[in-house]
Structure 1
Amino acid sequence: MLQEAYLMNVEGRAPDTRNPAMAGGAVQPWADAPAYVLIVDLLAMFAAVALPWSATVTTVLMVGWSIAVIPTIDWDELIRSLALPACALPLALFVLADIGVLWSDGPWEFGLQAVNPVSKLLLLPLLLQHFRRSDRVLWVLIGFVLSSAIMMMLSWVALADPSTLTAALPVEQALGRHQPFTLCALALVGPALVGYLRGQTGAAFALAGLGALFFSHELLVTPAQTICIAITTLMLVLAIRHLSRRLAMLLLGAAAVTGSVAWAASPLLSRPIVQNVVQHHLTLSGGGAMEGRPDWRRTMASLAEAPLLGHGTGAMRPPFAADARPPQQMRGTGHDVQTQSLYVAWQWGLVGLVLLGAMWIGHIRLVRGRDGIAWVGLTIVVQTCVGSLVSGNVFGVNEGWVYVIGLGAAGGVALRRRVGDPDKASAIVADADLPVGSVF
């Protein structure tokens, strides 16, 4: 009801329209100047470009962006946007993390440290509102893809000649980061298909080729379980929503063949999955736990101690933490837990899990459109959901910024379509809509 009320409230007036007479919602005249808006957009683009290389630089740029965007905000419009679950639920999760310090059994300093990663979610409503008005969304998305492509190429070079790793330290660090490359491999599928359907075969094959390079890098250089599950999930979504039955079967068959070849060609890809199966069998049979893997019996017992509200923000080390980590690395970070689901359940219980799931559902509903940018947004949310069940954490440094910046940009375009200004949104995506079940 609240979401429909918000859409009806803003429908019929362009998102760029501002009312200087609105009490508390007035925007400074100089903040509407094209040069100033360009600066705000460039800060967001540079943050996306820096993300594959340095989370610290990205954090600094996003802090600068959050300060620069304040004069451009229509506060009345921002408050009304909180009727949208996509905007309200991230704030609710942040509030839960804040008040969770009150019942935590850990020191206050650990509680405050644990709140810090969740604070990224505060920028989501600002990003959604800004990119609902901005026409430079593609700058952010393309900048991130090109930056990731450069790092991927350097990674291939470093793989061919390991001596180059010394001169390319960020590349060495990036070899352990899966999310940017995985995201690019998955997100390029939609735009490539759009280009093909619009007759732009050159651009379509270029995007598909770049996506294939990202895909092969993830399978052969830094194999991970997340990309296998995420690709399977997204291919099913693409096949069900946008492809004919014949092409869907062809696509799924090709994916199965590719996965089988990759499984055989890269033992590192299958090893973690096989280890998980063996670990699950050992745990159920009482045969012990492998180092660094959660003991699910102890996990369930510890979560049952505080099922509703959890143990509080920054709670002391949970019993399912990786035993190899020193205590000072286990507290208040969220990286001590194998999955985000356990991290949220341990600190905030069932209430936290419900809020997290509702937030993801709200974001999926926001980006459920049929254009290429909506596919990018859907890819970000699905990959994060899959990662949270395997090894990811949206509250992590890199993962959190990828989610917030990417979804903020893609969701802004989706929000613009829904509030009554589809013309400008179509100009951004160039009328690049994916068909529904009509391809071939």
Structure 2
Amino acid sequence: MTEDRPDLAGTLLSPRSLLNDPLFERMHLWLFVWSGPQEPRARELRQVFVDILLVVFGAALPWSTTVASVLSVALVIAIPPTLTARAVVAGLRRPPLLLPIVFFALAAIGTIWASDVSWWERLHALDKTSKLLLIPLVFLHFQTSPRPGWTFVSFGLSNSLLLALSFSVYASPALARYIEPHALGVPVKNYIDQSQGFAFLAVTIGGLATEALRRAMFGRTIVLYFSSAAFLANLAFVNVARSAFLYVPIMLLLFAWRYVRGWRLLSVLAIFVIIGLVSLASAPNLQRKIARIPGDLTAYRANSLTVGDDPASGAQRLVFWRSSFVFVRSAPLLGHGTGSTRRLFEAEANGRTGLDSLVVSNPHNQTLSVAIQWGLVGCLALYAMWAVHLWLFRQGVRSASAPFFAWIGLVAVVQNIASSIFNSHLQDFYPGWLYVLAVGIAGGALHRSEIAGSADHRTR
């Protein structure tokens, strides 16, 4: 006599069992429910999906341009269904959300008057500004999402892995031969991007450590201060972009200004100066970077491409800026059009030698990059956007009790403005996306807390 056994496969795959499966139910809500009583739950599922995409994006950004690019497209598709028309209309009335769109629109219109420039070059240059369109989308998303910290945590953890690998590649020649780093202690991307991310995290994690200390969370304080110091140590002893010599002191000043006042502020600044001098005296990396500055000036005067065995990057910038001023003077109001920079440098370099023969599509200065393509109008749009984002996060340094997201946003904006003196860091991939994420997430989270605070005040 045989025992009747249930058809397990048939049971699991039956239409009734699938309909009752929680995962299937969530997928159904996410994909197909757009109205009715279940719509709020479906919207919440879509919000969580966007949060997960942003977490993966934050983790991928320090490592892979390709993965981050694919995820950015996914975000453009995934975020709009989570928003209401009322929220979008209200958001676009706010300058911090509107001006990034205005800047992109100017770049799009600028493709019209870019003469003698292929459409591929015009669209390629336009693509470099398209990331700014994510600022209003991410901002609006985090007006309602309660998970703004997820992306920053994933970005921090991912950079911590990169930090460990950077130290390992720097300390182990055998590992360096296997990985083939792009520069000393730079396993992926380039030292400019790595410095941008490490400096941002060193200062913001230092802020988190101070917040933990104020709450008497001593274990967390030790871990966070150690992490912040590790990022700074990498900048000092492994590799650093020389533009960090400008933006790191400014970011540390913001750090001190947030947490201390009066004579204590002067004491903290004095401690920072002492630490900087000790680092300079003990770090060959810093000494080598600073020692190249006079060599760059000599290379500029001699029209030489190198300083010793290194490219004369500082001299190159001086040549790019000199030529850029000429280009701007010839079309001061509206510029030469989107994507015109390389063509102008090609014409300038024709028949020349040394530094004067270099052809680039990026003058390594954000203002000049904008002025060449879109003239005075473009510069006004750029400075207006920076100004409203600074104003958005102004309360970040009012006191230590001010919202921490306001301070994160302020640090990101100030870092981008300062580093854009030596690079085009809104249009460059990694620093541009760091700006977009920080402004969008911090701005949305800050606005959400303000809405919640207003609601609490009305109910009292």
Do these two structures clear the TM 0.5 threshold for a shared fold by scoring above it?
Answer: yes
Counterpart of 1:293 in structure 2 is: 317
Question: Partners in 1 of 2:63 and 2:159 — Cα distance?
Answer: 8
Question: Partners in 2 of 1:355 and 1:50 — Cα distance?
Answer: 30
For residue 225 of structure 1, report the CA deviation from its aligned partner. Answer: 2.3
Query: Residue 416 of structure 2 aligns to which amino acid in structure 1?
Result: T
- SS of match in other structure, 1:173: coil
For residue 278 of structure 1, report the CA deviation from its aligned partner. Answer: 6.3
Question: Partners in 2 of 1:77 and 1:181 — Cα distance?
Answer: 35
Counterpart of 1:382 in structure 2 is: 414
Are the counterparts in 1 of residues 144 and 448 from structure 2 also a CA contact under 8 Å?
A: yes
Question: Partners in 2 of 1:310 and 1:270 — Cα distance?
Answer: 40
Counterpart of 1:90 in structure 2 is: 100
1:152 aligns with 2:177: no
Counterpart of 1:422 in structure 2 is: 453
- SS of match in other structure, 1:229: helix
For residue 262 of structure 1, report the CA deviation from its aligned partner. Answer: 2.1
Query: Residue 334 of structure 2 aligns to which amino acid in structure 1?
Result: L
Query: Residue 188 of structure 2 aligns to which amino acid in structure 1?
Result: Q
Please, which moves more after superposition, 70-79 or 234-243?
234-243
Within the candidate set 215, 223, 227, 2:244 is matched to 227
Query: Residue 420 of structure 2 aligns to which amino acid in structure 1?
Result: S
Counterpart of 2:20 in structure 1 is: none
Q: Where does 1:59-70 land on structure 2 (aligned, <5 Å)?
A: 59-70=69-80
Q: Deviations over 1:339-358 (max 9, x none)?
A: 22221111111221221111
- Cα distance 1:28–1:354, how it changes in 2: closer, same or farther (>3 A)? farther
- Cα distance 1:113–1:392, how it changes in 2: closer, same or farther (>3 A)? closer
1:172 aligns with 2:187: yes
Question: Partners in 2 of 1:372 and 1:215 — Cα distance?
Answer: 21
Counterpart of 1:362 in structure 2 is: 388
For residue 219 of structure 1, report the CA deviation from its aligned partner. Answer: 1.5
- State percent identity of aligned pairs: 31
Within the candidate set 419, 430, 433, 1:398 is matched to 430
Within the candidate set 34, 48, 57, 2:67 is matched to 57
Counterpart of 1:311 in structure 2 is: 336
Q: Where does 1:225-264 land on structure 2 (aligned, <5 Å)?
A: 225-264=242-281
Please, which moves more after superposition, 76-85 or 125-134?
76-85
Structure with the larger RCO, 1 or 2 (CA within 8 Å, 6+ apart) = 1
How many residue pairs align between the two structures?
A: 393
Question: Partners in 2 of 1:38 and 1:299 — Cα distance?
Answer: 46
Question: Partners in 1 of 2:295 and 2:238 — Cα distance?
Answer: 24
Counterpart of 1:4 in structure 2 is: none
Counterpart of 2:124 in structure 1 is: 113
Are the counterparts in 2 of residues 195 and 204 from structure 1 also a CA contact under 8 Å?
A: yes
- SS of match in other structure, 1:172: coil
1:195 aligns with 2:226: no
Q: What is the TM-score with the length of structure 1 in the denominator?
A: 0.81
For residue 194 of structure 1, report the CA deviation from its aligned partner. Answer: 1.2
- Cα distance 1:297–1:194, how it changes in 2: closer, same or farther (>3 A)? same
- Cα distance 1:276–1:27, how it changes in 2: closer, same or farther (>3 A)? farther
For residue 406 of structure 1, report the CA deviation from its aligned partner. Answer: 2.2
Question: Partners in 2 of 1:194 and 1:187 — Cα distance?
Answer: 11
Question: Partners in 1 of 2:336 and 2:389 — Cα distance?
Answer: 27
Query: Residue 437 of structure 2 aligns to which amino acid in structure 1?
Result: I
- Cα distance 1:156–1:241, how it changes in 2: closer, same or farther (>3 A)? closer
For residue 196 of structure 1, report the CA deviation from its aligned partner. Answer: 1.2
Are the counterparts in 1 of residues 165 and 187 from structure 2 also a CA contact under 8 Å?
A: no
Counterpart of 2:376 in structure 1 is: 350
Within the candidate set 227, 231, 243, 1:214 is matched to 231
- Cα distance 1:391–1:26, how it changes in 2: closer, same or farther (>3 A)? farther
1:41 aligns with 2:51: yes
Are the counterparts in 2 of residues 392 and 399 from structure 1 also a CA contact under 8 Å?
A: no
- SS of match in other structure, 2:111: helix
Question: Partners in 2 of 1:55 and 1:325 — Cα distance?
Answer: 29
Are the counterparts in 2 of residues 28 and 71 from structure 1 also a CA contact under 8 Å?
A: no
Query: Residue 357 of structure 1 aligns to which amino acid in structure 2?
Result: Y
1:182 aligns with 2:199: yes
Question: Partners in 2 of 1:26 and 1:340 — Cα distance?
Answer: 48
For residue 288 of structure 1, report the CA deviation from its aligned partner. Answer: 5.1
1:132 aligns with 2:143: yes
Query: Residue 104 of structure 1 aligns to which amino acid in structure 2?
Result: A
Counterpart of 1:373 in structure 2 is: 405
Are the counterparts in 2 of residues 294 and 338 from structure 1 also a CA contact under 8 Å?
A: no
Question: Partners in 2 of 1:31 and 1:103 — Cα distance?
Answer: 48
- SS of match in other structure, 1:309: coil
Q: What is the TM-score with the length of structure 2 in the denominator?
A: 0.78
Are the counterparts in 1 of residues 337 and 373 from structure 2 also a CA contact under 8 Å?
A: yes
Query: Residue 229 of structure 1 aligns to which amino acid in structure 2?
Result: L
Counterpart of 2:13 in structure 1 is: none
- Cα distance 1:194–1:308, how it changes in 2: closer, same or farther (>3 A)? same
Counterpart of 2:21 in structure 1 is: none
Question: Partners in 1 of 2:447 and 2:267 — Cα distance?
Answer: 33
Q: Deviations over 1:383-414 (max 9, x none)?
A: 11111012352111111211112221111111
